Structure 1
Amino acid sequence: MDTKKGLLLGGVLGGAAAYLAFRTLDAEKEAEVRKHVLETAEDAKDRAVDYAFYAADALADAREMVNDKVTDYRDSLADTSDKVSDKLNDLKDDLNQLQGYLNTLPVAKQPLTDEEKSDETDDITVDMDDAFAPQNSDDEKGSDRADHQK
């Protein structure tokens, strides 16, 4: 016999036996059994309601805890994002300052290698640093003026 059929048959036969036993009792005993069954059913119902409330409270507490954790993580992520953004902006500013500084530094001339000298043409080139750099001291300027006045 299948397990489900066996449980069903046992429930039906047990219920029928309990009903026959109940009907054989006198009126006082029947009332007492009914009262006991009703009280037990009422207690079971009260317990089921209490457990349902406990479960609802536990679920609400768990939901609140999860929401708190999510809020904490979201705030932490926002703070970290702000810090990273600030650091990136600082780095950007530092790089801009470095670029400005490097643009103001004169580039040192490097002597030509033998290969570059052989590739050099007879074209005249003017180096802007050499063209605008002060070449004469004050004493030489005075003698240059004297030469020009003659």
Structure 2
Amino acid sequence: MGKKIVSGLVAGLLGAGLYAAYQKLDENKKNQLKRNLREKTDEVRDRAVDYAFYANDAVSDFKDVIKDELNNAKGTVKDASSQFTEKATTSKSQRGADDLNESAPQQDDIVVDAREAFKSTDSTDSVNQSTTSPDSSTNADPSGTTSNDDPSLDPTTPDHDHSQDK
């Protein structure tokens, strides 16, 4: 608080000294001093107005940049959303097709007839297995061929030596 009092007294003495010096000046010097003071205040005012315009332009530019970035972000989000939706619908349709395929009866199942699996065979003979599908019960005919067109399902073709299994 003591510093405030001292600084107030110094400011008062300085102001009183400046006023006394001003009163001692002649009229030409007083007018010139007034003109110089007006010019300086006009310059400061012009600079303040210029800086206000600069600030206004900067804020306007900033708003434009933000608006452009938001529009870009919205476009990116829309693109990503449409791609996601497209992938989701594609995946859903593929999943639906897979579900339909899984619900359809499988034609490649191998069913072993219990009578033929347990019939006694010589150690030199291979086990004669018949293959059937769940829909049709095709057994091997006496010639040893099946009604299936796939030669890999032919029971007479030795895929595996069953004599070593015993």
After superposing the two structures, state which structure 1 stretch, 43-52 or 98-107, moved more: 98-107
Question: Counterparts in 2 of 1:11-26, with a 5 A limit?
Answer: 11-26=11-26
**Partner residue of 1:33?**
33
- Report the TM-score when normalising by structure 1: 0.66
After superposing the two structures, state which structure 1 stretch, 46-55 or 98-107, moved more: 98-107
Between Structure 1 and Structure 2, which shows a larger proportion of helix residues? Answer: 1
After superposing the two structures, state which structure 1 stretch, 9-18 or 62-71, moved more: 9-18
In structure 2, relative to structure 1, the CA distance for the partners of 1:106 and 1:17 (3 Å cut) is same
Percent of pairs with identical residues: 25
Does the residue aligned with 1:105 lie in a helix, a strand or coil?
Answer: coil
The aligned amino acid for 1:47 is R
**Partner residue of 1:147?**
none
CA distance in 2, matches of 1:7, 1:69: 53
User: What is the deviation of 1:66?
Assistant: 1.2
Let me know the Cα RMSD of the aligned residues: 2.7
1:112-149 deviation per Cα after TM superposition (whole angstroms, max 9, x unaligned): 9xxxxxxxxxxxxxxx835xx678x9xxxxxxxxxxxx
Gaps of 5+ in 2: 114-133, 142-166
The aligned amino acid for 1:129 is D
Question: Counterparts in 2 of 1:17-96, with a 5 A limit?
Answer: 17-96=17-96
1:77-103 deviation per Cα after TM superposition (whole angstroms, max 9, x unaligned): 111111111111110011011111222
